[in-house]
Every structure is written in C-alpha cells, then in structure tokens.
Amino acid sequence: MKILAAVAISALLLVSNPAVGAVIDLSTWTCEKFQAAPKDDVGIILAWLDGYYREESDPAVIDTEKFVANAKKLGAYCSANPSVGLITAMDAVFKK
C-alpha cells in the first residue's frame, strides 16, 4: 500500500511540474512564445534573466521589487514586439 501511494505521489509531481528535465533554448524563443509559455517556464526564465543581467560584483541579493519591475518591462516590450527574438528583447530592455 505504501509503495502504491509513493508511486501515485511521484506521478502527480511529474505531471504538475512540466519544466523538470526540460531544455529551454532561449536563442530560439520569440517574445510571442515567451508570453504564451506556461507560468512555470516563464518563472524559470525570469529567474535566469535576473542573474544573467547582473554584474559579477553585484551582491547575491534578490530585490523582488526590481525583479517584478524588470518582468513588467520585458512583458511590455514583448507585447509591442511579438516577433522579436527573446534574447534580442532582453538585450534591448536590459542593455547587456
């Protein structure tokens, strides 16, 4: 009975988290694909973005207000430019 419960819980976890084990190649994504992506994927990409566009000497601090503001900036840019590549959009918005 315990084994059956463990299998059921494992199956639920795998179904509820589609980003596990996925490869997200941002060089192939457009703004349109980004905005249509599952919420979990968007969260992962935004977290990556937060780290990628920091200076190496920046402290290891997550400023949630800045994080949300940056997400909104990218969202606004992508809404206006859906066919633009996501990396191009990020570079345009965050000036890397």
Task: Domain ranges for the chain, please list them.
Answer: 22-94
- The per-residue pLDDT for range 28-64, each reduced to its tens digit, is 999 999 999 999 999 999 999 888 888 889 998 889 9
0.85 exceeded by the pTM? no
> For residue 43, which amino acid is it?
G
Contacts 24+ apart (CB under 8 A), 82-86: 82/30, 82/31, 82/32, 82/35, 83/30, 83/31, 83/32, 84/30, 84/31, 85/27, 85/29, 85/30, 85/31, 86/26, 86/29, 86/30, 86/31, 86/33, 86/34, 86/45
| pLDDT score recorded for residue 54 | 87
What is the average pLDDT across 81-95? Answer: 94
| pLDDT score recorded for residue 72 | 95
CATH number for region 22-94? 1.10.890.10
| pLDDT score recorded for residue 43 | 93
